[in-house]
Amino acid sequence: MKTYPLKPLSLVLLIFGFSTTVSALDGDAERGQAAAAVCTACHQADGNGLSIPGAESWPRLAGLDAAYMYKQLQDFNSGQRENASMAPFAAMLNDQQMQDVAVYFSQLMPNVVQGADDADEALLKQGERLATLGDWSRYIPSCQSCHGPDNQGAGENFPGIAGQHAGYLQAQLHNWQQDKRRNDPQHLMLAIAERLNDEDIKAVAAWLSVQPAK
């Protein structure tokens, strides 16, 4: 597999101009709520998603950045993100509806109540290390160096990953490894995902999932 070089963080900050981009979404939460009726079967009425043990994990949308979600819906439609459950629902929405549902879900309160499954103390410690410090012996920067303080997200490019379902977090890291998600600017996430082994993925997903989303 081709290995993508990591860009220095300063360059990353320059490219994305962190707090300078104000989301240019023209969405309406009320219209979004109506269009989101079909979404609640999986993402739940409160937008906090659900994990079915041993099966699919439906992500929390509540409180995620609206512009980030709008981009994800476009990416499902362009095929840069592949998922058989989600693709038909992204395809139902026109551009205005995508903006409306994104604004609607961004305004709901995040509240994922989830245990760390079978994660023991040692695994959680390993996850905390990766999320907050990284592992420079393997060129893995900390998750929070991009995903913001406490991994709560930074602007529209770096989503909050604390308080997200462990099964969903794991699935995304595997999706990058398996080339089912190709939508990250500059391959920033691919460069991370390809350095993580299965144990790392279990660990970091378990630890992040039990941190509160603020």
Rg (C-alpha) for the chain, rounded Å, is: 17
Residues 51-90 that bind ligand HEC (CB under 6 A): 56, 58-59, 61, 64, 69, 71-73, 81, 83, 85-86, 89
Q: What angle do CA 65, 71, 76 make, to 5 degrees?
A: 125
Pick 72 or 152: Cβ nearer ligand HEC:
72
Binder among 172, 203, 206, 211 for ligand HEC (CB under 6 A)? 172
Residue span 188-207 as binding mask against ligand HEC, x where in contact by CB under 6 A, dash where not: xx--x-----------x---
Joined tokens for residue 146: 């991009």
Chain centroid to CA 134: how far? 18
Interface stretch with ligand HEC, choices 21-29, 107-115, 116-124, 170-178 (CB under 6 A) = 170-178
Joined tokens for residue 53: 């043990």
How far apart are CB 144 and ligand HEC at their closest, in Å? 8
| C-alpha span between 69 and 75 (Å, rounded) | 10
Q: 10 Å Cβ neighbour count for 126? A: 19
Interface stretch with ligand HEC, choices 23-31, 111-119, 157-165 (CB under 6 A) = 157-165
**Taking a C-beta distance cutoff of 8 angstroms, is the pair 160, 146 a contact?**
no
**Taking a C-beta distance cutoff of 8 angstroms, is the pair 102, 69 a contact?**
yes
How far apart are CB 115 and ligand HEC at their closest, in Å? 19
Nearest 5°: phi and psi at 57? -115, 120
> Interface with ligand HEC by CB under 6 A: which residues?
12, 36, 38-39, 41-43, 56, 58-59, 61, 64, 69, 71-73, 81, 83, 85-86, 89, 92-93, 101, 130, 141, 143, 145-147, 157-159, 161, 169, 171-172, 175, 183-185, 188-189, 192, 204
